[in-house]
Structures are given as structure tokens and as C-alpha cells.
């Protein structure tokens, strides 16, 4: 920091950095945290102030900050081969693809890109080309769910079921259709599990019948709707959806961008639900955010449908300049080594159970508590202001909560810009290495902040 002291960093930030999901006018009287370094589950700002990162950045720093193994891997790879595209090949991509194929034996062919959005775009293009080549040119529609999130690019955004994220960016791409979310706390059918017979899953079947099975290419689902509020589906839901997909000759894409690499206490979320996807997409935890990388893993059956003579036009006609970047692949390999050697998947399962206990002990009885949903180290805490009507806490309430937490040195996630008047879910998704005493601090801090804001809510509630 030779050039900029903290004041001029804030000033230049305000002038030149356009931040996501942020109203910049708010920076006339405040400024973002400027984070300079991190270790374990803690990051430090420009003034040396520590913050417990209960959101693992954007739910991606699974192995925690400051892992030397990942840094060493990056340096080694940069010295050896800084870049080469996958129009040819290189050892780092070959090794990583092979490793992923061992984790995902049903989808052993890996197309690399740079982000979760690109991984999903790739999946959509693959299924559409697949169906065209199989003689079903009208199978183009992609079904997804309300409140689900699949990315920021226009195809992935069209598959996203979050009206606020889409507002002003239309028209959306055609042939993306949403069905009801498995949201038991606010059941869209006003029913209860199990007597509901999972109408939310049946909604896929109804929608396929309405659209016409010959027009539906794929269903895309997250194992748990993450950014949309940690919506955990009832037992049997995902396998029922997989069944419906199979019955109607529709491919199943499972978006593991958040849920992959240990987040839910399993290496991949779909393992928890006994489901065999045709395509798995991933990003965030693949390199724990140390490098940008995304991947789309595809079944033998789909991959083989792209084989033909050189001039058949059946090859996948897409290239990502940085997809399968050697440094990102090498870092991802080092990351997967850490996850395995330190048994972080098992650790996430155990600390996740402890987190669930803490939330139940300290938050459950607060009058502003709607619902608490936990799976592994992903937790959604739904804040309400009227228990009888389950009135969601306002955006102003949730922002005030975020500020109180920051003042206590805690960075938490929250559902943001999902649905108007319905962004009332705090999210905990810390690094998988988080210690129990750190989780205790986070939950105690949350209970304190919720009480403070609940007792003196902001005027715009």
C-alpha cells in the first residue's frame, strides 16, 4: 500500500469501483470494508480490524484463507506454464478432470469454464445441442424453480427464479420456465408435508405436461436452493424430480455451485438425495475462490452423442479463453488435496450439527424467528416481524442487522434482491475449517443483533 492510505483507498473506491448489489449513493455517508488479508475463517480490513467471515466470501472459501498449499501450487504452475488453452491440452487440466471424474463417476466428462454462471450456460447449450442431434429439435425448454439462482449471464439469469434479480434486464431468454419451490415454511400450495404428497415436485410433471414433453430439454435444480434462502426440500423430493425427468425424457442438471465440495457435509449435495444427474455444474468451492474456475460434468451418454466425423458438426462449438486455466486447475487440485487430507467434508458434517444445535439453543425462541434451516455448514435463518402472519422482516431491517453484525466483527450472508418484500433470510456459510468457538461467537452475535434491531426496528420497516 505505498500509494494509497486508507482514506484515499475509500475515496478511489467510491470513484472507480462499481460494486455488485450495492446502492452507491449509500457510500456518500459510508464505505465498504476494504479487506487486505485473511487467515482461517478471519479476514482483516485496511485498519487491521478482524472479521469472522461467516459467509466464506461468497460461500466459496471452503478451505479457509491463507492456505500455503494453494499458493505454492499457483506459483509452481505459473512458473511452469502460465497459460495454454484447452483447444489443445495440459497436465493440470487432465489431472483435475480425472480427479473430478473419480468423484462423479456418472458424469465423467468435464468441460471447464471460469464461473458458476458459465458452467450453467455450458450445460444449457450442451443439452440443447444434444437433443437436436438426437432428432428432437424442439426440446429446448429449461425448467427451474422460483427462488433458485443459477447465475448472472442472461441464460443463467433466465433460469433463475428471482424476480428482483431479473427486473430491468428483460426480455429474458425464451424457453426458460419456473415451477414452485420446495419451500415448506411458506408452502406455495398452503399444504403440509407429507400429506401434501410433494406438490412442489409434482409441479415439474404438471409443467412438463403443459409445455409438452417434446419441448422440454432439461430440469436444473440446486440440491438446496442456496441464495434464494436455504430452502431444504423434504425427504424424497429430489429423487422424485429425477424420476419425473426420466419418465419424460428430460435431462437433469444439478447445480452444485454452492453445494459442492463439502458445503452440505457431503462432497456433492446430490449424494445426500440419492440422485444421479445427467450433468453436474460446479464452481465456487472447486478452488475455494483462490482462482476463478467453473466446470460442467457430463454423462457418458450425452458425451457420446457429440461424437461423429470431423465435419459432422456434432462437436461442441464453444470455447472459453480461460476455461481450464492451468493455474486455476493446479490450485483446484491443491484445494481438493486439502479437503481430502484435512477431512473437511466430515468436519463440515460434524460442525454443521453443532451449528444447528447452537441456532436452536440461542435463536429459536426469539420472537423474530421464523424458521431455521441447516444442512452441513449452510444455514438459513428466516427473520419475521409478525409470528401469526409470518411477515418477513423488511430489507431495512435486514440491512440494519447486517450493520450490527459488522459492528461486532461478523460478516454474514443474506438473501439479497430475490423477491420484493421477501429477502428476510440471514445465511451462514463459513469456511469448512471454522472452529466451534468461532461458530459460538457468530451465533451469539446474531442473537444479540436480532434482539437489538427487533426491539428498535428501523423507521422504514
Ligand X SMILES: Cc1ncc(COP(=O)(O)O)c(C=O)c1O
Contacting positions for ligand X (CB under 6 A) = 115-117, 120, 149-152, 222, 226-227, 255, 257-258, 283
Residue closer to ligand X (CB basis): 257 or 374? 257
Buried b / exposed e over 343-380, threshold 16 CB at 10 Å, is: ebbebbbebbeebbebbeebbeeeebbbbbbbbbbbbb
Report, in Å, the least distance between residue 394 CB and ligand X.
Answer: 23
Could you tell me the CA-to-CA distances from 111 to 206, 254, 294, 320 in Å, in that order? 32, 15, 9, 10
What are the respective helix, strand and coil percentages of the chain, to the nearest 5?
A: 40, 15, 45
Q: List helix spans (H) across 218-299.
A: 237-247
Indicate the residue among 289 and 445 with the shorter CB distance to ligand X.
289
Please report how close the Cβ of residue 258 comes to ligand X at its closest, in angstroms: 4
Min separation Cβ 256 and ligand X, Å: 8
Do residues 257 and 283 lie in contact, with contact meaning Cβ atoms separated by under 8 Å?
Answer: yes
CB of 102 to ligand X, least distance (A): 23
CB of 101 to ligand X, least distance (A): 21
- For ligand X, the closer of residues 163 and 458 by Cβ is 163
Cell numbers 449435495 correspond to what residue? Answer: 269
Q: Which of 290, 230, 273, 338 is nearest to 75 (CA)?
A: 290
Integer angstrom CA distances of residue 230 from 123, 375, 414: 23, 9, 10
- Identify which of residues 77 and 117 has a Cβ nearer to ligand X in the complex: 117
Q: How far is the CB of 335 from ligand X (least distance, A)?
A: 15
Whose Cβ is closer to ligand X: residue 120's or residue 299's? 120
Q: Specify the residue, 59 or 397, whose C-beta has the smaller distance to ligand X.
A: 59
To ligand X, the closest distance from the beta carbon of 285 in angstroms equals 11
Helix/strand/coil for 16? helix
The residue among 373 and 404 lying less far from ligand X, judged by its C-beta, is 373
**Which CB, 120 or 394, lies closer to ligand X?**
120
Q: CA 264, CA 249: separation in Å to the nearest integer?
A: 29
Q: How far is residue 286's CA from residue 376's CA, in Å, rounded to a whole number?
A: 17
Q: How far is the CB of 377 from ligand X (least distance, A)?
A: 15
CB 364 within 8 A of CB 443: no
* CB of residue 233 to ligand X, shortest distance in Å: 14
- Closest contact distance (angstroms) between CB of 42 and ligand X is 22
DSSP at 169? S
Position of minimal CB gap to ligand X? 116
Whichever of 60 and 244 has its CB closer to ligand X, that residue is 60
Cα distance between residue 324 and residue 6, in whole Å: 36
Residue number with CB closer to ligand X (64 or 116): 116
Residue closer to ligand X (CB basis): 120 or 385: 120
Closest approach of ligand X to the CB of residue 328, in Å: 12
Antiparallel, parallel or unpaired: β 216-221 and 141-145: parallel
CA distances to 58, 149, 237, 363 from 145, rounded to whole Å, are 22, 9, 13, 29
Cis peptide bond N-terminal to 452, omega within 30? no
Residues 55 and 434 sit within 8 Å (Cβ to Cβ): no
Is the bond leading into 194 cis (omega within 30 degrees of zero)? Answer: yes
Amino acid at each position: 500500500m505505498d500509494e494509497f492510505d486508507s482514506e484515499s483507498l475509500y475515496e478511489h473506491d467510491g470513484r472507480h469501483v462499481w460494486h455488485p448489489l450495492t446502492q452507491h449513493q449509500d457510500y456518500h455517508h459510508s464505505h465498504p470494508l476494504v479487506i487486505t488479508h485473511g487467515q482461517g475463517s478471519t479476514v482483516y480490513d485496511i485498519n487491521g480490524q478482524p472479521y469472522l467471515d461467516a459467509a466464506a466470501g461468497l460461500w466459496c472459501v471452503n478451505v479457509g484463507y491463507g492456505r500455503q498449499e494453494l499458493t505454492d501450487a499457483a506459483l509452481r504452475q505459473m512458473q511452469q506454464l502460465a497459460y495454454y488453452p484447452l483447444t489443445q491440452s495440459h497436465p493440470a487440466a487432465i489431472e483435475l478432470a480425472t480427479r473430478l471424474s473419480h468423484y462423479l463417476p456418472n458424469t465423467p466428462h468435464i468441460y471447464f469454464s471460469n464461473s458458476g454462471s458459465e458452467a450453467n450456460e455450458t450445460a444449457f447449450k450442451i443439452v440443447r445441442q444434444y437433443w437436436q442431434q438426437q432428432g428432437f429439435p424442439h426440446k429446448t425448454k429449461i425448467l427451474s424453480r422460483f427462488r433458485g439462482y443459477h447465475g448472472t449471464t442472461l441464460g443463467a439469469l433466465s433460469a433463475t427464479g428471482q424476480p428482483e434479480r431479473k427486473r430491468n434486464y428483460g426480455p429474458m431468454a425464451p424457453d426458460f420456465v419456473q415451477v414452485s419451490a420446495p419451500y415448506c415454511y411458506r408452502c406455495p400450495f398452503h399444504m403440509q408435508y407429507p400429506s401434501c404428497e410433494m406438490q412442489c415436485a409434482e409441479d415439474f410433471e404438471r409443467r412438463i405436461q403443459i409445455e409438452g414433453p417434446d419441448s422440454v430439454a432439461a430440469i436444473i435444480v440446486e440440491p438446496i436452493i442456496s441464495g434464494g434462502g436455504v430452502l431444504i426440500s423434504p425427504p424424497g423430493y429430489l429423487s422424485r424430480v429425477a424420476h419425473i425427468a426420466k419418465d419424460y425424457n428430460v435431462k437433469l442438471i444439478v447445480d452444485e455451485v454452492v453445494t459442492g465440495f463439502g458445503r452440505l457435509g457431503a462432497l456433492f449435495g446430490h449424494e445426500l438425495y440419492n440422485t444421479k444427474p445427467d450433468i453436474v455444474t460446479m464452481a465456487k468451492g472447486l478452488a475455494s475462490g483462490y482462482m476463478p474456475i467453473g466446470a460442467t460434468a457430463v454423462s457418458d451418454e450425452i458425451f457420446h452423442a457429440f461424437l461423429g466425423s470431423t465435419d459432422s458438426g456434432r462437436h461442441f462449438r464453444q470455447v472459453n479463453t480461460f476455461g481450464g486455466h492451468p493455474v486455476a486447475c493446479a490450485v483446484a487440485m491443491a484445494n481438493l488435496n486439502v479437503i481430502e487430507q484435512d477431512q473437511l467434508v466430515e468436519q463440515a458434517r460434524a460442525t454443521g450439527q453443532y451449528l444447528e444445535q447452537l441456532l436452536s439453543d440461542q435463536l429459536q425462541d426469539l420472537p423474530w424467528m421464523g424458521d431455521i434451516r441447516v444442512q452441513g455448514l449452510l444455514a438459513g435463518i428466516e427473520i419475521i416481524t409478525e409470528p401469526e402472519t409470518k411477515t418477513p422482516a423488511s430489507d431495512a431491517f435486514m440491512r440494519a442487522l447486517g450493520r450490527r453484525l459488522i459492528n461486532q466483527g461478523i460478516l454474514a450472508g443474506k438473501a439479497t434482491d430475490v423477491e420484493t418484500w421477501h429477502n428476510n433470510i440471514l445465511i451462514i456459510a463459513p469456511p469448512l475449517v471454522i472452529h466451534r468457538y468461532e461458530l459460538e461467537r457468530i451465533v451469539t452475535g446474531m442473537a444479540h443483533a436480532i434482539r437489538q434491531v427487533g426491539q428498535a426496528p428501523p423507521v422504514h420497516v
